[in-house]
Amino acid sequence: MTRMLGIETSCDETSASVIDGEGNDVAMKSLVILSQDIHRVFGGVVPEIASRAHLTSIVPVVQRAVNEAALGIEDIDAIAVTSAPGLIGALLVGVCFAKSLAFARGIPVVGVHHMEGHLFATSLEDPDAVPPFTGLLVSGGHTLLVDVEDWGRYRLLGATRDDAAGEAFDKVAKLLGCPYPGGRHIEQLARTGDPSRFRFSRPMVRRNDKPSDADYFAFSFSGLKTAVLNAVRGSADLDGDRAHIARAFQDALVETLVEKTFRAAATCGRSRVVLGGGVACNSALAGEMRQRMAGIGATVFAPSPRLATDNAAMIARAGLFHFEMGERSGLDLNAYANQPIPGLIAA
Ligand code: KG4
Ligand code: ZN
């Protein structure tokens, strides 16, 4: 059994968590997430401000995570830290802190890929959300469709050709006058929208698509964003249309995500679908996904909002897997703004 401290600082959340266990039998002992609200004022994350905020928060956040686990720092066996991808200055705060603490305590440190963390998140809540499964990762920076044969063995089926799903939500939210980050505001607006008032075409979904097509599993959301922009510009009563446009946008985006994930699960013969990333908070997405997957007898696992968005528990969990595989990072562990998920192979 390993007691793992996880640290996440890749974007605008300073987070620390303690988990313990082995293999897929893991318990989350604590999870502290400090969201940097300051970025709301600027309508997006300001990298320099994010780095400085991580610097002032990292010590109390880690201390609190250890305290809430009813442990002392001397009880921690190893540290997992997000080392890629993300804002380089923000990542460096977590990486430098984790290396220093590991060196001072004489314990190992393991660098973790943020998106691999998102793949592990749901398994912390549901013991059945484990491989083999079809994974859909939908966050502010990424949209990835992966076949997960086993932990550490990922086949990339599809990715976005332009905007990420969360980015599309945030941009459309801005067009409709909602605060940043806009995903949950769009979801709320869409609830009162009439689905028949506007209709946007589903990007890269055609009736006669074949698995051999290059974009069979791929995504593209920038055209959808432009369609929303045109609808906003063309509206004579934007106040009255706002909810209907939000609904039509969400319907188009969700249907596309569901269709591509359905294709992946059906093609790979998977009976489990695991969602991850901030957009997985969207209940329309989880609901539509469940309904569609029921047709092939596949179960859908969606994380609770706390574990869907950025958090250190998922980093600790992915780190535990690599730790158990014998992997250790040296004190020369660095941070990288971009890096492929380890174990990821093209389809
Ligand atoms: O995974 P995450 O916390 O951070 C990244 O790694 O990017 O994802 C953040 C994204 C934002 O774009 C946010 O608007 C979106 O997740 N999001 C949502 C919802 N809640 C958060 N999108 C749609 N519906 C939601 N309820
Ligand atoms: Zn994330």
Q: How far is CA 51 from CA 8, 93, 96, 229, 294, in A?
A: 12, 7, 12, 33, 44
For residue 326, report the distance from its CA to the centre of ligand 1, in Å: 33
pLDDT in tens, 26-47: 999 999 999 998 998 888 899 9
* pLDDT confidence of residue 4: 98
Pocket of ligand 1 (CB under 6 A): 11, 139-141, 166, 169-170, 181-184, 187, 277-279, 281-282, 309-310
Looking at residue 43, its pLDDT comes to 86
DSSP string computed for 283-307: HHHHHHHHHHHHTTT-EEE---HHH
The atom number, within ligand 1, closest to the CA of 118 reads 1
Read off the pLDDT of residues 216-250 as tens digits, 9 standing for 90 and up. 999 999 999 999 999 999 999 999 999 999 999 99
Lowest mean pLDDT among 148-152, 221-225, 233-237, 343-347: 343-347
| Residue 278 Cα to ligand 2 middle (Å) | 7
Between the CA of 103 and the centroid of ligand 1 the distance, in Å, is: 34
Q: What's the pLDDT score for residue 259?
A: 98
Q: Percentage of the chain surpassing pLDDT 90?
A: 95
Residue 211 Cα to ligand 2 midpoint, Å, equals 29
Residue 24 has pLDDT above 80, yes or no: yes
- Quote the percentage of the chain above a pLDDT of 70: 100
Residues whose CB falls within 8 Å of the CB of residue 282, separated by 6 or more in sequence, listed in order: 183, 187, 250, 254
The 10 Å Cβ neighbour count of residue 133 is 26
pLDDT of residue 25: 97
Task: Determine the atom of ligand 1 nearest the C-alpha atom of 141.
Answer: 7
Whether the per-residue pLDDT at 100 is higher than 90: the answer is yes
What is the C-alpha separation between 191 and 121, in angstroms, rounded?
27
Inter-CA distances, 77 with 108, 110, 155, Å: 8, 12, 31
> What is residue 223's predicted lDDT score, i.e. its pLDDT?
96
pLDDT at 347: 72
Tokens of 318: 């992915």
- Ligand 1 centroid–CA 278 distance in Å is 3
Give the ligand whose atoms come closest to the C-alpha of residue 169: 1
Task: State the closest ligand 1 atom to the C-alpha of 250, by its place in the atom list counted from 1.
Answer: 23
Q: Nearest residue CA, atom 23 of ligand 1?
A: 183
Q: What is the pLDDT of residues 244-300, one digit of tens each?
A: 999 999 999 999 999 999 999 999 999 999 999 999 999 999 999 999 999 999 999
Q: Quick check: pTM over 0.85?
A: yes
The pLDDT of residue 44? 87
Residue 345: predicted pLDDT: 86
Q: Which atom of ligand 1 is nearest to the CA of 164?
A: 12
Q: Which residues pair with 17 in a beta bridge?
A: 6, 31
**Shortest-distance Cα residue to atom 13 of ligand 1:** 183
> What is the pLDDT confidence band of residue 346, given thresholds at 50, 70 and 90?
confident
* pLDDT value at residue 135: 98
What is the band of 301 on the pLDDT scale with cuts at 50, 70, 90?
Answer: very high
Which ligand is closest to the CA of 163, given by its number? Answer: 1
Which numbered atom of ligand 1 lies nearest the CA of 173?
A: 14
| Contacts for 157 with CB less than 8 Å, ≥ 6 apart | 145, 146, 147, 217, 264, 268, 347
